[in-house]
Amino acid sequence: MGAEEAARRVDEGAILLDVREPDEWEAGHSPDAVHVPLAALAASIDRLDKDQPIVTVCRVGGRSERAAAALLQRGYDAVNLAGGMQAWQAAGMPVVTESGEPGQVI
């Protein structure tokens, strides 16, 4: 799914699950995102609400595609944000640091 559709779904209550590494997250992320690095997803998956749709995101879409597939196999309603955070930022969606300052996608 594209960035605009992903943003609409998040506005409607979907979880934006950012599976990038901690340094990528710290450089900049969506203010509405939940951070669970891909390597930690298996250990954290049961903490996610199966009744809430999930949009997965990484830098360009590869890692988040694997995350969405893993979530789907476990019965979650999950889709991947095509183009990742690069597409999110290019569509004019906000990217911030933990302090709320403007961030960057690395």
Residue 18 pLDDT > 90, yes or no? yes
Q: Topology of 3-90 in CATH?
A: Oxidized Rhodanese; domain 1 (3.40.250)
Q: Where are the domains of the chain?
A: 3-90
In which band, very low, low, confident or very high, does the pLDDT at 29 lie, cut at 50, 70 and 90? very high
Q: Which tens digits make up the pLDDT trace of 58-80?
A: 999 999 999 999 999 999 999 99
Answer whether 27's CB lies under 8 Å from 21's CB.
Answer: no
**Tokens 């979530």 belong to which residue?**
71
**Tokens 């669970």 belong to which residue?**
36
> The pTM is what?
0.96
Q: Which residues are catalytic?
A: 58
